[in-house]
Amino acid sequence: GQQVMQIPQYQHVQEGEDFTTYCNSSTTLSNIQWYKQRPGGHPVFLIQLVKSGEVKKQKRLTFQFGEAKKNSSLHITATQTTDVGTYFCAGSPSGGYNKLIFGAGTRLAVHP
């Protein structure tokens, strides 16, 4: 079946360092979304990317969608302790806008 792979599984950084997580789908996606889940919390929507090659920025966060619409990345510049949590990518299969297939998530730990 359709799979969305995400790496790394876990990342330790010092506060102020950059962080990147990568997603790769086995098939073309109609769109990809990113969510953040704080420890003990539920996923919270960050952004949706729809167009091939799309790049969006939210303050220190930069999201990219690959040209083939099969991969995506989230880059955080100068991490802060408030960035701690698990970041999930979630892709919608091509041809459908309905369900989301979640990646395994990347757990980010930021040390002050």
Partner 1 sequence: GAVVSQHPSWVICKSGTSVKIECRSLDFQATTMFWYRQFPKQSLMLMATSNEGSKATYEQGVEKDKFLINHASLTLSTLTVTSAHPEDSSFYICSARDVGRGYNEQFFGPGTRLTVL
Name the token pair of 58. 């939210």
> Per CB under 8 A, which region of 17-25, 58-66, 74-82, 87-95 contacts partner 1?
87-95
> Per CB under 8 A, which region of 17-25, 30-38, 58-66, 77-85 contacts partner 1?
30-38
| Binding status of residue 101 toward partner 1 by CB under 8 A | yes
One-letter amino acid of 92: S
| Binding status of residue 13 toward partner 1 by CB under 8 A | no
One-letter amino acid of 2: Q
> Residues 66 to 85: which contact partner 1 by CB under 8 A?
none
| Binding status of residue 97 toward partner 1 by CB under 8 A | yes
DSSP 92-105: EETT-SS--EE---
Rounded least distance, CB 16 to partner 1, Å: 26
| Binding status of residue 92 toward partner 1 by CB under 8 A | yes
| Binding status of residue 38 toward partner 1 by CB under 8 A | no
One-letter amino acid of 102: F
DSSP 9-66: SEEEEETT--EEEEEEESS-EEEEEEEEE-TTS--EEEEEE-STT-EEEETTEEEEE-
Q: Is 107 helix (H, G, I), strand (E, B) or coil?
A: strand
Interface ranges with partner 1 (CB under 8 A):
1, 31, 33, 35, 41-45, 48, 88, 90, 92, 97-105, 107
